[in-house]
Amino acid sequence: MAILPGPVMGKTLISERGGREKKGATMTEATTDDPESGVNAEHWGRVYETTADDAVSWYEPEPRASLEALALADIPVRASLVDVGAGSFRLVEHLLDRGATDLTVVDIASSAFETTRSRLGSRASKVDWLVADVTQWRPDRLFEVWHDRAVFHFMTEPGQRDGYGAALRTATSAGSWLVIATFADDGPERCSGLPVKRYSGPGLIAEFASDFVAHDVWRDEHRSPGGAIQPFTWAVMRRR
Ligand SMILES: C[S@@+](CC[C@H](N)C(=O)[O-])C[C@H]1O[C@@H](n2cnc3c(N)ncnc32)[C@H](O)[C@@H]1O
């Protein structure tokens, strides 16, 4: 079903299917124990073990903005897509419903996947589940789409952003899309108790400008389950 119109990009992809959970094969070191660091497996594991899926501030019952972003760029539903820091976000379910066949989710916390896997039931085998710190991850395949909603902004240290950029470059090639959303420059200063780095549209584009060309950038407002309005900067960029 072509909910997301447009031609399938003709890239050669090395795909490792199977729908099983894998540890990040090339994670080279343990993540930090610094409680103030966004790269903190223990923190995130605890969040998903102790908080209901629909109670976290980033909960969105329908991935409206993500689907809009994919449609804006005419990204076909069958494009290979990795959702980094996916948590229990419902994007993969919505894409499976529309006919997606090559979906990977990555998260630093394995408990992040439990809700989505149980919601998906037998369909969980159609998704590759990967537990990895994205700043250390060096994937052994390419993706047509890299999707990140509310993860990059936890990379408050330059070294973390460098690691994220290295993973992004390893996972993509010319023509691949970057769909990314961070808190806007007037958005919250913290999320899940951790500090974040906020971005204006030009600031977010500048972060990836050495490898990606901006296609669209816009502001969107997320309403948390508690009713708080959180301004986000969204960007769709394409790799040179
Ligand atoms: C605010 S939540 C957003 C979850 C999801 N993207 C969404 O929009 O619902 C941030 C997510 O990023 C994950 N995360 C944080 N740091 C990470 C890292 N270094 N590598 C991979 N995942 C990470 C967390 O476990 C959590 O699921």
38 in Cβ contact with 155 (< 8 Å):
yes
For a mutational test of ligand 1's pocket, the pick from 44, 81, 114, 198, i.e. the residue with the most ligand atoms closer than 8 A to its C-beta, is 44
DSSP 99-159: T---EEEEES-GGGGHHHHHHHGGGGGGEEEEE--TTT---SS--SEEEEESSGGG--SHH
pLDDT at residue 30 in the model: 32
Protein residue with least CA distance to atom 1, ligand 1? 150
In the predicted model, is pLDDT for residue 24 greater than 90? no
Atom 25 (ligand 1): residue with closest C-alpha?
44
Q: Is 87 in the pocket of ligand 1 (CB under 6 A)?
A: yes
Domains in the chain: boundaries? 21-239
Cα end-to-end span (Å), the chain: 29
State mean pLDDT over 101-130: 96
Report whether residue 145 contacts ligand 1, using a CB cutoff of 6 Å.
no
Four-way CATH pick for 21-239: 3.30.70.890, 3.40.50.410, 3.40.50.620, 3.40.50.150: 3.40.50.150
With beta carbons less than 8 A apart as the criterion, state whether 16 and 140 touch: yes
Asked whether 184 lines ligand 1 (CB < 6 A), one says no
Helix 201-208, helix 158-171: angle, nearest 10: 60
Task: Encode pLDDT of 142-192 as tens digits.
Answer: 999 999 999 999 999 999 999 999 999 999 999 999 999 999 999 999 999
